[in-house]
Amino acid sequence: MEPSPQPWSPREATEQIHRIAENPEFDLTLTKHALLRMKEREIINSDVLWSLRGGTVPKEHQGESTASGFCEHIVEGTSPNSPNRRIRITGIPDNVGNQIKIATVMWKTDGGQERCLITTTPNVD
């Protein structure tokens, strides 16, 4: 499959991301934010790689990157290290440079986004 200019349809984005992630010269770049979220959520590199190679892009791109000609896509897939859990990755693929820059990573729940638990202490006067 030849590289094509972005934006891509969900189907084409899925195919391009699989092609990039399966390339022996693939360069996975994780932002500081992504690394922090992965640590907080106990998501490891192999979870991300597995999902990039076998996940899907369920909807149109999420906007253009700050780098001209690139778009942000969300990939959803399973985690081989946490059965029954789905992972959601926001990344910017570069099909010419065989690179995907990961902006953030989270666990996907039935409601879509990661479930956050917030506890509060009641005010006692």
Q: What are the per-10-residue average pLDDT scores of the chain (125 residues)? A: 72 94 94 95 93 92 65 90 87 89 87 40 37
Beta bridge mates, 77: 87
pTM for this prediction: 0.79
Residue in the structure block whose two tokens are 């030849």 = 2
Q: How many residues would you count in the chain?
A: 125
Give the Cα separation of 17 and 19 in Å (integer): 5
Q: What are the structural domains, with CATH classification, of the chain?
A: 10-108 (3.30.2310)
Do residues 105 and 45 touch, judged by C-beta distance below 8 A?
no
Note the pLDDT of residue 67.
Answer: 62
CA 95 distance to own-chain centroid: 15
